[in-house]
Amino acid sequence: MSENPPVTVWGRRNSINVIKVMWCINELGVPHERIDVGGDYGLNNAPEYAELNPNVTVPTIRDGEMILWESNVTVRYLSEKYGKGSLYPSDPARRWEAEKWMDWMQTTLNPHLSLILRQLVRTPPGERDMAAVENARQSLLNIWPILDSQLASRQFVAGDSFTMGDIPVGAAAYRWYAFDIERPSFPNLEAWHNRLRAREAYQNHVEMPVT
């Protein structure tokens, strides 16, 4: 790490949204520092943090004069600035394909995964709404096949090379496979997930207990 890393990240490392940003930074090799904020660390309600991010959520990044929040936007920004032609595809068709799956993660996958997380991980056993968990699981059983079908003809979500599009969806897939729920086999999804798991940046920033 350099004495004055260009990128500062505020956020606890086990937040899925921080995971996305740190995974991206690691893939790009961007010098950085990370400051623990949120969860057990608190600090996100401090006035000085609210000045950076009025939502008082994590992550927030500063890159020079640029301050950003919203994890998928941050992954896009870092990928374009530091990874144009690699994580950020030069070809517009592939770039928008990556963008599509990033939004799909946020709008289609994440609501159901977040509900399962809240119930199975953050709610005491006697207070869990298992009917809601089952409804979310059933919804995901209809959603994951969409990506599984796409991955029958490609190695990654936007083609045959890893891009920014794999990061949010890959973080979501990690949770899917970490939850103690019944899952059918989605062979193409599993093969793609195993390709992600082989990446050093994934191992460094994704594989940790889900909290």
Residue 82: how many CB atoms within 10 A of its CB? 19
Both 163 and 198 in one domain: the answer is yes
Both 200 and 106 in one domain: the answer is yes
Both 131 and 159 in one domain: the answer is yes
Is 163 inside any structural domain? yes
Q: Are 157 and 165 in contact (CB under 8 A)?
A: yes
Both 33 and 101 in one domain: the answer is no
CATH number at residue 166: 1.20.1050.10
Distance of CA 23 to the CA centre of its chain: 8
CA 195/CA 106 separation, integer angstroms: 22
Both 70 and 99 in one domain: the answer is no
Both 117 and 187 in one domain: the answer is yes
Is 25 inside any structural domain? yes
Distance, first Cα to last Cα, the chain: 28
CA 68/CA 124 separation, integer angstroms: 34
Is 138 inside any structural domain? yes
Both 47 and 70 in one domain: the answer is yes
Is 195 inside any structural domain? yes
Residue with tokens 């929040």: 69
Tell me which residue range forms the domain holding 143: 92-204
Q: What is the mean pLDDT of each successive set of 10 residues along the chain, which is 211 residues long?
A: 74 96 98 94 91 96 96 98 97 97 98 98 97 98 98 98 98 97 97 98 96 86
Both 114 and 171 in one domain: the answer is yes
* pLDDT of the residue at 1: 41
Cα 123 to Cα 38, 154, 206, distances in angstroms: 18, 38, 22
Both 20 and 105 in one domain: the answer is no
Question: What is the count of structural domains for the chain?
Answer: 2
Examine residue 59 and say whether the peptide bond preceding it is cis (omega within 30 degrees of 0). yes
Is 27 inside any structural domain? yes
Domain edge (last residue) among 35, 61, 83? 83
* pLDDT of the residue at 110: 97
Both 39 and 67 in one domain: the answer is yes
Both 66 and 100 in one domain: the answer is no
Residue 170's closest CA among 113, 117, 122? 113
pTM reported for the whole predicted model: 0.95
